[in-house]
Amino acid sequence: MVSPDSIRTAIGIIGNGTALVLFLSPVPTFWRIWKKRSVEQYSPMPYVATLLNCMMWVLYGLPLVHPHSMLVITINGTGTAIELTYITLFLLYSAGATRRKVLLLLAGEVAFVAGVAALVLTLAHTHERRSMIVGVLSVIFGTGMYAAPLSVMKMVIQTKSVEFMPLFLSLASLFNGICWTAYALIRFDPYITIPNGLGVLLAVAQLILYAMYYKSTKLILQERKRKEADHLAMTDVVVDGKHSDNNAAAAAGGRY
């Protein structure tokens, strides 16, 4: 008979896979940013929030804090590296106040996690106390990671467009939340259950919005392409007109 621990480990491995997909799901977004050399209307907040979340969970999974949590460390360590890459690209192709804001947030997050690690490891002397302190903070910031797309959801409702809320990211969030909620429930860990359960609810809400505004998004994009085509056509007419005027002037000059 398969033991609960074996099932939990298997789900944790699957959770590592779904979380990796979640971390990699913004790749098309950053490919677009790299090609256009602009962050457009994309918000840095989901990536900044996810970075803080990953760093806190790496701290939570350390043997000195919460033993036997290697699966938590592996995926969140990987997530930390991936999110740092995204934020670096965001910094490269943003400017002004946006860039300064992201830099300040990044510096603040690193300083905060380092400070928490130093205080917990020196002042809390049992695994239970260390797990509780870091776990509570991880719940708060894990909830922040899943709640970060709320700003994007607000924009979707206002613009009636899901252009800047990638479907793949919402699906990855849903499957990741389901896996880690199941992982936490087998050997009940409230610190992992709460943020991931909330993540499931928010991911479902995003998918509902996507279904509501998918058709209107297509219409908006079609209208934008039509306007761009009209603008190019008008530009061509103006350029052709100028060429005709120049040719006529040259011909007139030639007659004299």
> Does 1 score more than 80 pLDDT?
no
Instruction: Give dist(CA 146, CA 54) in Å, integer.
Output: 12
Q: What mean pLDDT is reported for the chain?
A: 83
Q: What's the burial of 121, exposed, middle or buried (CB within 10 Å: 0-12/13-18/19+)?
A: middle
> Does 155 score more than 90 pLDDT?
no
245 assigned to some structural domain:
no
> Does 27 score more than 70 pLDDT?
yes
Confidence band, pLDDT 50/70/90 cuts, at residue 154 = confident
> Does 28 score more than 80 pLDDT?
yes
pLDDT for the residue 242: 60
253 assigned to some structural domain:
no
Give the tens place of pLDDT for each residue, 79-126.
Answer: 999 999 999 988 888 888 888 888 999 999 999 999 999 999 999 889
Q: Which domain range does residue 143 map to? A: 4-219
Q: Give whichever of 20-29, 53-62, 147-156, 227-236 has the largest mean pLDDT.
A: 53-62
Q: Which two tokens stand for residue 77?
A: 């360590």
84 assigned to some structural domain:
yes
pLDDT for the residue 256: 41
Confidence band, pLDDT 50/70/90 cuts, at residue 46 = confident
Q: What percent of the chain has pLDDT over 90?
A: 24
Q: What is the average per-residue pLDDT within 180-184?
A: 89
Confidence band, pLDDT 50/70/90 cuts, at residue 173 = confident
Strands (E) across the chain are located at none
Higher pLDDT, 12 or 143: 12
Give the tens place of pLDDT for each residue, 128-139.
Answer: 999 999 999 988
pLDDT for the residue 39: 83
Higher pLDDT, 166 or 197: 197
242 assigned to some structural domain:
no
36 assigned to some structural domain:
yes
> Does 140 score more than 60 pLDDT?
yes
The model carries a pTM of: 0.70
pLDDT for the residue 255: 46
152 assigned to some structural domain:
yes
- Concatenating the DSSP letter of every residue in 120-137 gives HHHH--SHHHHHHHHHHH
Instruction: Give dist(CA 111, CA 128) in Å, integer.
Output: 24
210 assigned to some structural domain:
yes
Give the tens place of pLDDT for each residue, 200-225.
Answer: 888 898 899 888 888 888 888 787 77
Overall number of domains in the chain: 1
The CA–CA distances, whole Å, from 35 to 39, 54, 175 equal: 10, 28, 29
Element spanning 94, H or E: none
